[in-house]
């Protein structure tokens, strides 16, 4: 389209240069003279011949021009003189009109002019503007349950907060474990992320202040995917909701359900990065392939800018040979994507939610808290490099 529109514009400017006096197309149709395109071609050839002092087509030119009144021809020639001179002047030094079948000067196209921006380039611009809006959005995803997604989401968010960052946590899990971990009963909240995703309620109405700000969940989220099934743009519901508050935070941490359904797709579509907690067991690592396939589809169709921040070994029991082998398999297959930080088993991770707090508040000097502080340093270092 770009090539055709540009070529037709140049040819039109050449063919209508002598008619700069303002001829009306309707009048040209009623004129008993020969068809206008033939006159235009002969006039252009005469202008080129006179400009270059050539000798081609001289007998035909006076015969066709004699049909026109001298005053009208002179007026048209005077009006078109600047354009004709400029076009002839640019064409004269060029050797292409003599060597090729048609003039190549003004109509020549560069290769980059013929290449339209791809869908990925266009969406990439959207992603750049997204990143400029404020918070870095991180999803914690793995369709395998029981791999410490909720524990990692909360404690890493609190570690970010200890470092001086403003953090929002979003609970997208219908089980509401992240909400309960901050001492909030999911069954008693008036509005939750269900209302944000399904009824377009502003996300600020479901944010509660605790150790960090948290957008709460309720059991209603279990029916959100069915309720959103007929909604246009359902994959971008969370992304649109975050526009309201994204500029108020440095990080947004999203706890996803143990599945690759519409709620997880919403989280990945709204995110810049994905952290994948993986229990150091063989069956837990099997799910990484499915997650990679889902992430690839998200990149191709919804969010080209999302990428894996890192794979986090969790619930590591370094006393067992199996756990060591699992970490070795991760490093062999994913290399530098595997975090250097390790989240080892500790009873404090089970005790802290009972108190409605993170492990960093429950046992600030313990090893469990330091695991996530080290992880926060690694993530912040990777983000600044």
Joined together, the tokens standing for residue 33 give 């003279």
Task: Give residue for tokens 């089980």.
Answer: 175
**23-32, 157-166, 315-324, range with the lowest pLDDT:** 23-32
Does the pLDDT value for residue 51 go beyond 80?
no
Q: Give the integer Cα–Cα distance in Å for 272 and 299.
A: 11
Give residue 33's pLDDT band: very low, low, confident or very high (50, 70, 90).
low
Beta bridge partners of 170: 215, 254
Residues 264, 257 contacting (CB under 8 angstroms) = yes
pLDDT given for residue 318 in this prediction: 83
Higher pLDDT, 36 or 129: 36
Residues 257, 175 contacting (CB under 8 angstroms) = yes
pLDDT given for residue 140 in this prediction: 97
Q: Give the integer Cα–Cα distance in Å for 257 and 170.
A: 11
pLDDT mean over 26-42: 48
Q: Give the integer Cα–Cα distance in Å for 140 and 128.
A: 22
Q: Chain-centre distance of CA 84, in angstroms?
A: 47
Residues 225, 238 contacting (CB under 8 angstroms) = no
Average pLDDT along the chain: 77
Does the pLDDT value for residue 52 go beyond 60?
no
Could you write out the three-class secondary structure of 110-136?
A: CHHHHCCCCHHHHHHHHHHHHHHCCCE
Does the pLDDT value for residue 56 go beyond 80?
no
- DSSP strand E in the chain: where? 136-140, 167-171, 207-209, 213-215, 251-255, 273-279, 307-314
H helical segments located in 208-302 = 224-227, 237-242, 262-269, 282-301
Does the pLDDT value for residue 230 go beyond 60?
yes
pLDDT mean over 351-365: 96
pLDDT given for residue 23 in this prediction: 46
Residue 36 host element (H or E): helix 36-52
Give residue 16's pLDDT band: very low, low, confident or very high (50, 70, 90).
very low
Higher pLDDT, 33 or 362: 362
Beta bridge partners of 207: 215
Does the pLDDT value for residue 95 go beyond 80?
no
Does the pLDDT value for residue 287 go beyond 90?
no
Q: For the chain, what's the residue count?
A: 385
Does the pLDDT value for residue 259 go beyond 80?
yes
Does the pLDDT value for residue 138 go beyond 50?
yes
Residues 277, 152 contacting (CB under 8 angstroms) = yes
Give residue 58's pLDDT band: very low, low, confident or very high (50, 70, 90).
very low
Joined together, the tokens standing for residue 270 give 């709204």
The residues, any chain, with a CB within 8 Å of residue 4's CB and separated by 6 or more, are none
No. of H helices and E strands in the chain? 19, 7
């Amino acid at each position: 389209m770009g090539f055709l529109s540009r070529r037709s514009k140049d040819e039109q400017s050449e063919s209508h240069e002598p008619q700069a006096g303002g001829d009306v197309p309707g009048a040209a149709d009623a004129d008993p003279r020969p068809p206008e395109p033939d006159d235009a071609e002969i006039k252009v050839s005469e202008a080129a011949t006179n400009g270059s002092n050539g000798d081609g087509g001289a007998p035909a030119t006076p015969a066709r021009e004699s049909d026109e009144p001298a005053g009208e021809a002179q007026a048209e020639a005077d009006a078109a003189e600047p354009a004709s001179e400029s076009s002839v002047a640019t064409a004269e030094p060029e050797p292409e009109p003599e060597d090729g079948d048609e003039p190549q000067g003004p109509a020549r196209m560069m290769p980059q002019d013929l290449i339209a921006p791809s869908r990925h380039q266009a969406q990439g611009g959207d992603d750049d503007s997204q990143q400029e809006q404020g918070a870095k959005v991180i999803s914690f995803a793995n369709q395998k349950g029981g791999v410490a997604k909720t524990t990692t989401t909360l404690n890493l968010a609190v570690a970010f907060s200890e470092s001086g960052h403003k953090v929002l946590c979003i609970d997208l899990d219908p089980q509401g474990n992240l909400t309960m971990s901050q001492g909030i009963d999911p069954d008693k909240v008036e509005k939750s992320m269900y209302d944000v995703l399904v009824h377009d309620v502003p996300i600020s109405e479901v944010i509660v202040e605790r150790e960090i700000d948290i957008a709460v969940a309720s059991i209603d989220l279990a029916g959100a995917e069915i309720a959103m099934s007929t909604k246009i743009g359902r994959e971008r519901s969370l992304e649109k909701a975050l526009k309201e508050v994204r500029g108020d935070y440095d990080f947004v941490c999203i706890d996803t359900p143990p599945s690759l359904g519409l709620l997880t797709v919403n989280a990945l579509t709204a995110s810049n990065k994905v952290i994948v907690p993986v229990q150091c067991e063989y069956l837990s690592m099997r799910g990484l392939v499915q997650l990679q396939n889902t992430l690839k589809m998200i990149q191709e169709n919804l969010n080209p800018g999302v990428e894996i921040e890192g794979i986090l070994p969790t619930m590591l029991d370094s006393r067992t040979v199996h756990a060591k082998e699992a970490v070795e398999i991760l490093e062999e297959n994913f290399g530098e994507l595997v975090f250097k930080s390790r989240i080892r088993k500790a009873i404090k991770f089970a005790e802290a939610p009972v108190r409605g707090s993170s492990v960093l508040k429950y046992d600030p000097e313990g090893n469990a808290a330091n695991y996530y502080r080290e992880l926060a340093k690694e993530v912040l270092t990777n983000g600044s490099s």
